[in-house]
Amino acid sequence: MAAAARGAPPGPGPVSDAPILAIRNLSRNFGGLRALDDVSLEVPRGAVFALIGPNGSGKTTLFNVVTGTLAPTSGTILFQGEPIAGAKTHEIVRRGIGRTFQNIRLFTRMSVFDNVWVAVRTPRGGDRARSETERAEALLELTGLTAKRNELVENLNFGERRRLEMARALATEPRLLLLDEPAAGMGALELERLTQDIRRLRELGATIFLIEHTMDLVMGVADRIAVLNFGHKIAEGAPGEIQTNQRVIEAYLGREGSRA
């Protein structure tokens, strides 16, 4: 089931019904705490898939397990049909999963250009000397940071830092891009730009897996939404279905709408 609400995704690569990421019965314990409890979900190729849920519901833990930062306690993760659970982070990244962090983690002692350059990798048989610099420059262009290329990160404003982190993640040439609360702390103008950027990436053929609290963004870009609460998946569906789902409303507002 290609669940993308807006029809088959355009862009390169074979359009296939197989999900790009399939998470099956995934659990992760921290001591006695079950941060993820038997979570299953499938991210369709070419879609924007949003993961929402209250704070502490296990969203970032899920990203950490997918990227190999944490090992799963049980369950499987298939990326493009191959198991990746428990593999090393850099190996998973080289297979085609990119990520940005909730709290921005740029290299503050490097220039804007070097931050992107670190992540650029030459494909086998590629022309290293020419393409690495050019690809880094192209990503700065795409994210509107060309004018700042020689600045140190500390001289960038918040929105520019978010965009640089995005450029850096794109430099790994991900087929699947994990964005962890990209809109956190953004003003209306930056948010509008981020919405445009995500739509553009989708049109370029990327699949995006998004954790977000800003509902304007989620409802504006997501094809499909899954909701976590206390490590359980409590709902999944199209944006319209999620907005009216009783369990989701309870998870966010508490029972009978009383704000706990």
Partner 1 sequence: MGTALFDGTEQLINGLMYGCFYALVGGGFTLLFGVLRRFNLAYGSTIMAGAYAGLIPVYLFKAPVLVLFVTTIVVSVLVGLLVEFCCFRFLRKGHELAPLMTTIGMLIVIDETIVHLTDAVGLKYPAPFGDESLALGPFLIRPDYLAILVVSIACFSAIFWLMHRTRFGRAMRAVAERPEAAQILGVSVRRVNVLTFVLTSAMAGIIGFFAAVSVGSARPEMAAWLTGKGLVVMVLGGLGSFPGAILGGLALGVLEFEAVWFLGSSYRDILAFSILFLILMVRPGGLLGSRPA
The residues of the shown chain that bind partner 1, judged by CB under 8 A, are: 67, 69, 88-90, 93-94, 98-99, 101, 105-110, 114, 117-119, 121, 168-169, 171-172
Q: Judged by CB, which is closer to partner 1: 120, or 251?
A: 120
Q: Judged by CB, which is closer to partner 1: 6, or 105?
A: 105
Nearest-approach distance from CB 94 to partner 1, in angstroms: 5
Nearest-approach distance from CB 181 to partner 1, in angstroms: 15
Q: Let me know how long the chain is.
A: 260
Nearest-approach distance from CB 117 to partner 1, in angstroms: 6
Q: In what order do the strands lie in the sheet with 74-79?
A: 33-43, 21-30, 74-79, 82-83
In which residue are the tokens 């930056």 written?
190
Q: Judged by CB, which is closer to partner 1: 88, or 200?
A: 88
* Residue-wise DSSP of 123-175: PTT--HHHHHHHHHHHHHHHTT-GGGTTSBGGGS-HHHHHHHHHHHHHHT--S
Cβ atoms of 182 and 194 within 8 Å: the answer is: yes
Name the residue among 1, 13, 24 with its Cα closest to residue 83: 24
Nearest-approach distance from CB 165 to partner 1, in angstroms: 9
Q: Judged by CB, which is closer to partner 1: 18, or 71?
A: 71
